[in-house]
A and B are shown apart, each in its own frame.
Chain A
Amino acid sequence: MKQFLSFIKKEFYHVFRDTKSLLLLFGLPIAQIVLFGFALTNEIKNTSIAIYDQAHDPASRSISEQFAQSPQFNLVKNIRNQDEIEAVFKAGEAKLVVVFPPNFEQDIQHENKAEVQLIADASDPNTANTLTVYASNIIMDYQKELMLTTTIPISIQTDMRFLYNPELKGAPNFVPGVMALILTLISVLMTSVSIVREKENGTMEILLVSPFNPLMVIISKAVPYLVLSLANVTMILLLSVFLLEMPINGSIVLLYAESTLLILTALSLGLLISNITNSQQVAMIVSLMGMLLPTLLFSGFMFPIENMPLPLQLISNLVPAKWYYIIIKDIMIKGVGFMSIWKETLILTSMTAFLLTMSLKKFNIRLAK
Chain B
Amino acid sequence: MAIVRIAPAVNGYFAAGILPAKEVAMSNYVIEAENLTKRFGDFTAVNEISFHVEKGEIFGFLGANGAGKTTAMRMLCGLSIPSSGKATIAGFDVYKQTESIKQNIGYMSQKFSLYEDLTVLENITFFGGIYGLSRKEIAVKADQLLHELGLFDHENTLVGSLPLGWKQKLAFSVAIFHEPSIVFLDEPTGGVDPVTRRQFWDLIYKASDAGITVFVTTHYMDEAEYCNRISMMVDGEIKALDTPENLKKQFNARSMDDVFFELARGAKRSGD
B partners with A:
yes
Interface residues of A in 1-41 (CB under 8 A from B): 2-3, 5-7, 9-10, 13-14, 17-18
A interface secondary structure, majority: helix
The answer on a CB contact under 8 Å between B112 and A202 is yes
The stretch among B3-11, B59-67, B102-110, B252-260 that forms the contact with chain A is B102-110
The answer on a CB contact under 8 Å between B130 and A210 is yes
A10 CA to B40 CA in the complex, in Å?
36
The answer on a CB contact under 8 Å between A6 and B126 is yes
What is the 8 Å Cβ interface bit string for chain B, positions 129-143, against chain A (1 contact, 0 not)?
A: 111100000000000
The answer on a CB contact under 8 Å between B79 and A6 is no
User: Which residues from chain A contact B102 at a C-beta distance below 8 Å?
Assistant: 209-211
A212 within 8 A of B: yes
B118 within 8 A of A: yes
Knowing A13-B122, A210-B102, the reply to whether A202 touches B109 (Cβ < 8 A) is yes
Closest to B175 in A: A206
A369 CA to B80 CA in the complex, in Å?
10
The answer on a CB contact under 8 Å between B130 and A212 is yes
Closest to B126 in A: A10
B145 within 8 A of A: no
Interface residues of B in 83-117 (CB under 8 A from A): 99, 102-103, 105, 107-117
The answer on a CB contact under 8 Å between B79 and A209 is yes
User: Which residues from chain B contact A201 at a C-beta distance below 8 Å?
Assistant: 111-113, 115-116
A210 CA to B113 CA in the complex, in Å?
13
User: Which residues from chain B contact A5 at a C-beta distance below 8 Å?
Assistant: 129
CB distance from A304 to the nearest CB of B (A): 43
B77 within 8 A of A: yes
A208 CA to B184 CA in the complex, in Å?
14
Closest to A369 in B: B40
Max chain B C-beta neighbours (<10 A), residue from A205, A206, A367: A206
Knowing A7-B130, A212-B130, the reply to whether A202 touches B117 (Cβ < 8 A) is no
Closest to B70 in A: A369
The answer on a CB contact under 8 Å between A14 and B131 is no
The answer on a CB contact under 8 Å between A207 and B130 is yes
The answer on a CB contact under 8 Å between A206 and B132 is no
A203 CA to B108 CA in the complex, in Å?
9
B206 within 8 A of A: no
User: Which residues from chain B contact A205 at a C-beta distance below 8 Å?
Assistant: 79, 107, 109, 111, 113
CB distance from A216 to the nearest CB of B (A): 9
B74 within 8 A of A: yes
Interface residues, chain B, with chain A CB atoms under 8 Å away: 40, 74, 77-81, 99, 102-103, 105, 107-118, 122, 125-132, 175, 184
